[in-house]
Amino acid sequence: MVKILTFSLLWILPLSAQNDFISAKKCARCHQEIYDEWATSMHAQATSLKDPLFNGMYQWAIQETGGELESKCIVCHSPMSTVFQKISMEEVYNQEGVTCQFCHGTAHIRGFQSAKNMEVNLDTIYSYHPESDNSPHPVANREFFNNSEICLPCHAVMKNPKDVEVCATGSEWQIFNQKTGKICQDCHMPKLNGSFSHRFTGTHQSSLLTNSVEMDLAFDENTREVKITLTNAGAGHAIPTGTPLRMVMLKLVAYDSVGNLLWQNWEINPIQEDKQALFMKIMGDAEGNAPVPPWRATQTMFERRLMPGDPYSISYQLTSEAIYDVEASLWYRFAPTFILAKLKIEEPHFIRPRLMVQKGMKIVH
């Protein structure tokens, strides 16, 4: 009883005093575990203060458009800016990125094109069938927490100012959902000990990335072709999905009988050396220059990505009789190296490619 009373006081005092922002740190007083999980997620790090790749692209966008995109990019990365109508990063609510109260304060969702379509009410906490008896703060039920709708306003489709589709995780997922019934939370908020994980694991923590693609190798002795088949077996959308910066690259390496490197399908950059081994979306401008940053794009110049359950095969002919071993590996990059260099991003986290899956095979002679 005493515990509940102090809880209520803590909550009610600031709430009744002002219809204001409640920091995630305050939710942590009673939901510590969920807070700790969320704090490691990219939602907590989505802002220009914490994510160097977002910040780099954001500053570039502002500079190139004479400030036009300054208020637009932060709509989903610091969504509280839409509630308080202020974009300054001095504001604590903007510093917290996709914070607790933004999701759990959403009373209505009007559409899926922007976080602006999420209507936030600062004095109630919404979730899926909350237990109102135990809670020291006002709670209310919203069905959309139990399906992908709570994610889609930021993740569905984004078009640039020239009306070109930049990313479309939501529409990719819709096709998958019709076949499987699975929602974003099934994979990105799995239930652990009865509670939904708030780590929102994606590609920044690599556990989901590893083994999301199945790889098969086969060798045809007559044609001397190695056939590699890749299947997106783990994601509910394309691989890669989201921002068009992402790259997935297949590498095939051949060795002689004592392990010397004899051949590889590309050495430095598959964009120039072997496009059939490349999975990404490359945006271009009206003159056909590519890649260009998303805000400058008027067209998609190149697109190959792995759709759920739709295998993709590539064959390479082994011309040398001296090949005894081949090894295929699939790699993920957050962004092409020339972009990281341009933005002066040096953190190993962003620079190092990540291994997704790897397989070797002996070549019979």
Residues 83-112 that bind ligand HEC (CB under 6 A): 98, 100-104
Only one residue has tokens 């090949």, namely 323
Distance CA 222, CA 175 (A): 39
Closest CB to ligand HEC belongs to which residue? Answer: 242
For 266-294, b where at least 16 C-beta lie within 10 A, e where not — what string? Answer: beeebbeebeebbbbbbbbbeeeeebbbb
Q: Which stretch binds ligand HEC (CB under 6 A): 57-65, 87-95, 258-266, 296-304?
A: 57-65
- 128 vs 144: CA distance, rounded Å: 8
Q: Is 144 helix (H, G, I), strand (E, B) or coil?
A: helix
The DSSP secondary-structure symbol of 260 reads -
Q: Least distance from C-beta 353 to ligand HEC, angstroms?
A: 13
| CA nearest neighbour of 155 among 69, 80, 76 | 76
Q: Is 10 in the site for ligand HEC (CB under 6 A)?
A: yes
Q: Candidates 128-136, 255-263, 319-327, 337-345: pick the segment binding ligand HEC (CB under 6 A).
A: 128-136
Residue 42 interacts with ligand HEC (CB under 6 A): yes or no = yes
Point out which span in 12-20, 25-33, 85-93, 314-322 binds ligand HEC (CB under 6 A). 25-33
Question: Looking only at residues 202 through 221 of this chain, which bind ligand HEC when binding is defined by CB under 6 A?
Answer: 202-205, 208-209, 212
Which residue in 48, 81, 169, 231 binds ligand HEC (CB under 6 A)? Answer: 169
Q: Output 240 or 270, the one with its CB closest to ligand HEC.
A: 240
The count of chain residues that interact with ligand HEC, using the rule CB under 6 A, is: 90
Cis before 190? omega within 30: no
Residues between 239 and 268 with contacts to ligand HEC, criterion CB under 6 A: 239-243, 245-246
Q: Are strands 139-141 and 299-304 parallel, antiparallel or unpaired?
A: unpaired
SS3 at position 286: coil
Least separation in angstroms between residue 85's CB and ligand HEC is 16
What would the x/- binding string for ligand HEC be over residues 142 to 161, using CB under 6 A? ---xx-x-xx-xxx--x---
β-pair partners for 239: 306
Instruction: Determine the Cα–Cα distance for residues 268 and 55; give it in Å rounded to an integer.
Output: 27
Q: Does 78 bind ligand HEC (CB under 6 A)?
A: no
* Stretch 325-364 residues interacting with ligand HEC (CB under 6 A): 334
